[in-house]
């Protein structure tokens, strides 16, 4: 079906005329003002307009409706007309805004995970330090027990000199170990955390984390000032991505 716009002076039935010439098509005359209610003061003016077909486009555009996708649905017989020439630019801008929002959200999640990991790391370090303090207290109690046993053996029999001497030697060694252990702990600078302490003979190996190598150097200096410690040497230092340095130090006493 083809709509044919007419003007005010057309008196013949164009649909019949065109249908006679073009038998494969059907024709309907279209008057843009047929279904429009006009104010009284405009009705006379409209009736005097001869080229009424010129209003077909303007009225058709006015009756188009915008759907939620940003395209136009048409109430006229015109299809696929894009009234948004900058639709692609707008789509690119929306895409850029979405990417920026996603990037911001991603970085927020990364920062949150990093903060959470750091918190758990230091929480674990504090737990390890508390465990070391508990071990220290256990050593103190062990020393006290040994001293009590030595006193009991001395009072019980003078004939157990060898046993008493051995017990005193053990007590002396444990006392030295305790003093070295205690001073190793007391020499720790601020912001440094020890994660592990191993004792083998006259060697103590400590492992921990530090925010800088200068603090590790300061710890070595503090250990060297102790008269019970013969030497303190750095075995290795490895700086992690989070900015902290893992270190390992060998102490001889």
Token code pair at residue 184: 């190793």
Mean pLDDT lowest among 20-24, 69-73, 129-133: 69-73
- Which residues belong to CATH 3.30.1360.100 in the chain? 102-252
Buried b (16+ CB within 10 A) or exposed e, 114-150: eeeeeeeeeeebeebbeebeeeeeebeeebeebeeeb
Neighbours of 216 (CB within 10 A): 20
pLDDT of the residue at 75: 43
What is the C-alpha separation between 90 and 203, in angstroms, rounded? 71
What is the C-alpha separation between 178 and 230, in angstroms, rounded? 16
Residue 188 has pLDDT above 70, yes or no: yes
Which 3 state secondary structure label does DSSP give 12?
coil
User: What pLDDT band is residue 250 in, cutting at 50, 70 and 90?
Assistant: very high
Residue 242 carries which DSSP code?
T
pLDDT of the residue at 16: 72
pLDDT of the residue at 67: 41
**pLDDT digits 0-9 by tens, 191-235:** 888 888 888 878 889 999 999 889 999 999 988 888 888 888 889
Supply the pTM of this predicted model.
0.34
Radius of gyration of the chain (CA): 48
Residue 186 has pLDDT above 50, yes or no: yes
User: What pLDDT band is residue 46 in, cutting at 50, 70 and 90?
Assistant: confident
- What value does the mean pLDDT of the chain take? 74
Q: Which CATH class is domain 102-252?
A: alpha beta
């Amino acid at each position: 079906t083809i709509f044919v716009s007419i003007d005010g002076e057309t008196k013949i039935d164009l649909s019949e005329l065109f249908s006679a010439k073009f038998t494969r098509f059907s024709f309907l005359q279209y008057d843009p003002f047929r279904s429009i209610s006009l104010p009284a003061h405009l009705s006379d003016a409209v009736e005097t307009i001869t080229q009424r077909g010129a209003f077909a486009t303007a009225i058709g555009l006015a009756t188009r409706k915008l759907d939620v996708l940003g395209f136009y649905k048409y109430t006229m017989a015109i299809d696929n007309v894009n009234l948004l020439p900058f639709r692609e630019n707008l789509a690119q801008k929306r895409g850029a805004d979405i990417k920026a929002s996603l990037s911001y959200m991603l970085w927020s999640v990364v920062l949150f995970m990093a903060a959470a990991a750091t918190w758990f790391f230091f929480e674990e370090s504090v737990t390890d330090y508390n465990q070391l303090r508990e071990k220290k207290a256990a050593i103190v109690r062990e020393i006290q027990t040994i001293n009590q046993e030595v006193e009991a053996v001395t009072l019980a029999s003078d004939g157990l000199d060898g046993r008493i001497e051995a017990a005193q030697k053990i007590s002396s060694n444990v006392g030295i170990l305790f003093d070295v252990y205690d001073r190793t702990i007391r020499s720790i600078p601020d912001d440094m955390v020890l994660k592990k302490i191993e004792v083998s003979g006259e060697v103590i190996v400590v492992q921990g984390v530090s925010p800088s190598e200068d603090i590790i150097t300061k710890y070595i200096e503090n250990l060297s000032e102790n008269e019970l410690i013969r030497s303190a040497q750095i075995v290795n230092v490895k700086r992690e991505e989070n900015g902290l340095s893992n270190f390992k130090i060998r102490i001889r006493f």
